Amino acid sequence: MSVRRFWASASTLLLAAAAALGMAQPASAAAGGYVALGDSYSSGVGAGSYLSDSGACRRSTNAYPYLWAAANSPSSFNFVACSGATTSSVASSQLGALSSSTSLVSVTAGGNDVGFADVMQDCVLSGEATCLAGVKSAVSQVNSALPSRLSSLYGSIHAKAPQAHVVVLGYPRFYKISGSCFAGLTEAERSAINNASDVMNGVIAKQAANAGFTFSGVADKFTGHELCSGDPWLHSVSIPVENSYHPKAAGQSGGYLPAFRSAA
């Protein structure tokens, strides 16, 4: 057999094996229509470079959905994630972007349902006791109320886009414990906030699995880049205030984008 015929035969066998094993095509070829749903962690609050038509939703060209779409050229891209969104507002105001032809969906939701922003405000402005009580209350809501809200949202997404591959992304841990911060919150407060994030991610992952969706966590991606790490990918208390505790552009490109890309 000639060398040319050998490589032609080998290539044919490899392609047949790939088809038989269901190997994924490159994202740029298989993406179809992509819809990005969710809250400020998907819209890109804190990452700057906001699209002029996004208004208070603050959709950023540095956000992971925009970066992924730019790199993979899906057949259509609907970026509807919005700052401040809850599970109910995602369901009521964003799912119109979905259709039976949607093939890929990303979503972050849950933090605003349990008053995360208010908890962080209490932790910054009040003492340790108030902070820990607020975190404890939020964790209670995560365990009691959030599962059914996520289940309802995920069911609605599936109903609107039954053929879509849905990637649910989590939230980062915010602090490196025993890190470089010598002022601000106490280590007990930082540990409690990190634990709350872990609990929330666990609930989100479980509900995503129940819905047949793919959960992709970002906590590991942000390890070494938390607040108090010396190289944070998150804003601490900031001006403008809405940037506080949101990923910087580096957090979107270095944390969220790889987490989404590996699951998409």
Q: Just list the catalytic residues.
A: 40, 246
Q: Are strands 214-216 and 165-169 parallel, antiparallel or unpaired?
A: parallel
End-to-end Cα spacing for the chain: 41
CB 225 within 8 A of CB 173: no
Kindly report the number of other CB atoms within 10 A of residue 169's CB atom.
25
**Contact present, 114 and 146 (Cβ < 8 Å):** yes
Parallel/antiparallel/unpaired status of strands 214-216 and 102-107: unpaired
